[in-house]
Amino acid sequence: MGNPLRERTIRQLQPGDTFCFSRRFSQEETHAFGDLTRDYNPVHYDSRWTRSKGFKGRICHGLLVGGMICEFGGQVGWLATGMNFRFLHPVYFDDTIQCKITLTRLEKTGRAEAKAEFTNQDGRQVALAAMTGRLPLEDEKKLLNQMVQEGDPSNKLANQSEYRINQDAAVSWE
């Protein structure tokens, strides 16, 4: 079995399609992200600083959490043209965040819009995002299908057995 997100893209995405997935964020990932981005804000590294800001502990970088949308984009071949985030509550080390992406608009030209909602393990909404981009056109879907038929060797999520497709055309994975 291949990747259900890629297979759904090849068949045809529709407005209203919803995709949900979860991820746990560690201190190590947050620090690696800080090294990549050169963001050494003490809110990610120093408990004294976070206490002075009123947080219960050190927090993950907002864009690291927001970057969950990249997993969706990478699987469906979304070429991002815009992203707008609202960070509502902190994400602490070892929190598990669920990202729910809903396609809100698709044009025949491939232009698309989507919204993302991020919720922690306690059901608290921690962030929102609005996204614009371009989805694969017919020729690109044929190429994506060829890649899938070849085993999708460059895709480390090509054969995720935990992916499942719900009856309402939503795709979920944990």
Name the residue ranges covered by the structural domains of the chain.
18-137
Mean pLDDT of 77-85: 95
Dump pLDDT digits (tens) for 110-137.
999 999 999 999 999 999 999 999 999 9
DSSP for residue 89:
S
Would you tell me how many other CB atoms lie within 10 Å of the CB of residue 113? 17
Spatial contact of 62 and 127, defined as CB atoms under 8 Å apart: yes
pTM to 2 decimal places: 0.88
First to last CA, the chain: 17
CATH code of the region 18-137: 3.10.129.10
